[in-house]
Structure 1
Amino acid sequence: MSRSGAQAFSVGGAIGTLGGLIGLGGAEFRLPVLVGHFRFPTLEAVILNKVTSLNKVTSLAVVAASLPLRGMAIPWAAVFAQWAVVVNVLAGSLAGAWLGAHYATRMKAEWLNRVIFVLLIGLALGMLFGHDHLNGNHAGMADGTLRWIAGLVAGVGIGAVAAVLGVAGGELIIPTLVLLFGIDMKLAGSLSLCISLPTMLMAFARYRQSDAFAACGRERAFLIWMIGGSLVGSAVGAALLGSVPTDWLVWGMGVILFISAVKVFHHRH
């Protein structure tokens, strides 16, 4: 089908706006659209989703620039103080990202569709029923060898899921930091950036070895338009933040993700 720049920009803008409203990159919503609406083969869609998600570099720069201005809300000292936690989870997520991308490029298309279907349904259910559990204070697991192993294992899972779906993984990293390490949710959002970007780059490096990576060059104009729309949409979403109750947004996005997963990937089995 025809993939016009206007379509890519408008879809990217809509997804970016929704992602900006709920604090996610929107890649989990973009993947079903790339497959279902724009008719990309699944592996190509995953890689294109990963490339589009790398516009988070821009978001990172914005967040980094704004952190010093946020006063005591998220001071740099608080971020740096958690370096051991970042290293713990990141060590696992880098390995998981490489393994996830490696097996994604070797799976048959029908099996990749099944894996993505299950993962998207899991994310949708987590969004629908797990959000409330992140509110309030969490003690986390006691510091020690067991927590280090748990963080490493969780990181491997996060990296693998992020690689297979082509997402940044913040929707998995933040709950892990809050529930396992007892980190405040706002601080966890900042720390997740320190983990997600290297994880994305690791998966991206592995996907470069795949024949499907050629889609990035072939669809360069499409990617540019979609990234541009995503950036504009993210800004709009951030500007509208607070205009709609967060719980409504999370539930709404969970329903959309669930329906999208069933509609697109269930029928591709």
Structure 2
Amino acid sequence: MSTQKRAGQGFVAGSLIGTLGGLIGLGGAEFRLPVLVGLFRLSTLEAVILNKAMSLVVVASALLFRLRTIPVDQLFEHWDVILNLLAGSLVGAWWAAGHAMTMHRKQLNVVIMVLLLGLALLMLSESWLGLHDGGTLWFEPGPVRIFAGLVAGFGIGTVAALLGVAGGELLIPTIVLLYGIDIKLAGSLSLTVSLPTMIVGFARYSGSEAFAVLKSERPLFRWMVAGSILGAGVGGLLLGLVPPEILVTGLGVILLISALKTFKHAH
């Protein structure tokens, strides 16, 4: 496949994924990873690294866009939530990225497939059970909730590093259910946690030989990022046209199928 054709396909794929992500408030990295492995035939670790680089740009852009609605001072009113989750997620991202670089390729494929399946099931459960709606807090403020935040942050950082994602699909319900914060504010808070977490994982991956994919696939990276940002904007404009329950269910099913199909035949 020629470089120009790959770039064009990357732009189209990025636009479609960005639009879907924009409709539900996600960066879409969960869907980019199977595309990078299945369509563009990257190795699993190369796909994770390229996906993480794209996620960094998309998340930084999303955070800047959202500052118009939710300013910085409102975010830092909840600095305790940010620090609580970051204390766990930074450690989790560093640990997971280090293990991913030394893990056998087949083992890494299996781990990533399981994580993608888990995210697909989480999407379906959010749609059917309304996990994003909040409700009763899991823990009252105090040491137990702080510990729960550390554990949750570590797990989310681990998943984010292994998949190259921002982790919003895990962070948003965690912030809503653990800290009782409104879902719109939780979306912005999740980005403030995601950005440093991804930077740590990205820095850790810089020691891998697979990091060279950022140079060899530079045109694909540029065009797919451009498509993702454009799609995210379009998705935001289309908010409300599709019922969230139907959309999240559909995306969960798509992710479930793509995870099984892609990593069953991962090279």
Give the CA deviation at 1:114.
Answer: 0.3
Q: Which residue of the partner structure matches residue 71 of structure 1? A: none
Q: Is the 8 A contact 2:134 2:180 kept in 1?
A: no
Counterpart contact for 1:12–1:227, Cα < 8 Å: yes
Unaligned runs of 5+ in 2: none
Structure 1 position 182, deviation (Å): 1.9
Q: TM-score, normalised by structure 2?
A: 0.94
- After TM superposition, the structure 1 = structure 2 runs for residues 219-234 of structure 1, keeping only pairs within 5 Å, are 219-234=217-232
Q: Report the equivalent of 1:199.
A: 197
RMSD across aligned positions (CA):
1.4
Provide Cα deviations, 1:16-41, integer angstroms capped at 9, x if missing partner. Answer: 11111111100000000000111000
The one of 90, 101, 107 aligned to 1:105 = 101
For residue 89 of structure 2, the aligned residue among 90, 93, 98 is 93
What is the aligned partner in structure 1 of residue 236 from structure 2?
A: 238
The correspondence for 1:137, drawn from 135, 138, 141, is 135
Q: Post-superposition shift, 1:77? A: 5.2
CA distance in 2, matches of 1:67, 1:185: 12
Q: Deviations over 1:67-124 (max 9, x none)?
A: 35xxxxxxx5542221111100111000001011111111111000000010000000
Q: Paired residue for 1:208?
A: 206
Q: Distance in 1 between matches of 2:45 and 2:134?
A: 39
Aligned-pair identity in percent equals 58
Q: CA deviation at 1:200?
A: 0.7
**Map of 1:122 onto structure 2:** 118
Q: TM-score, normalised by structure 1?
A: 0.93
* Aligned partners of 1:141 and 1:182 also within 8 Å: no
Aligned pair count reads 262
Give the Cα–Cα distance (whole angstroms) in 2 for the partners of residues 190 and 2 of structure 1: 39
Q: Is the 8 A contact 2:23 2:236 kept in 1?
A: yes
The answer for the alignment partner of 1:53 in structure 2 is 55
Task: Quote the Cα distance in structure 2 between the aligned partners of 1:261 and 1:106.
Answer: 22
The 4+ residue runs of structure 1 with deviation greater than 3 A are none
**How far has the Cα of 1:129 moved from its partner?**
1.1
- In structure 1, the partner of 2:266 is 268
Q: Distance in 2 between matches of 1:213 and 1:259?
A: 28
Structure 1: distance between partners of 2:61 and 2:104: 34
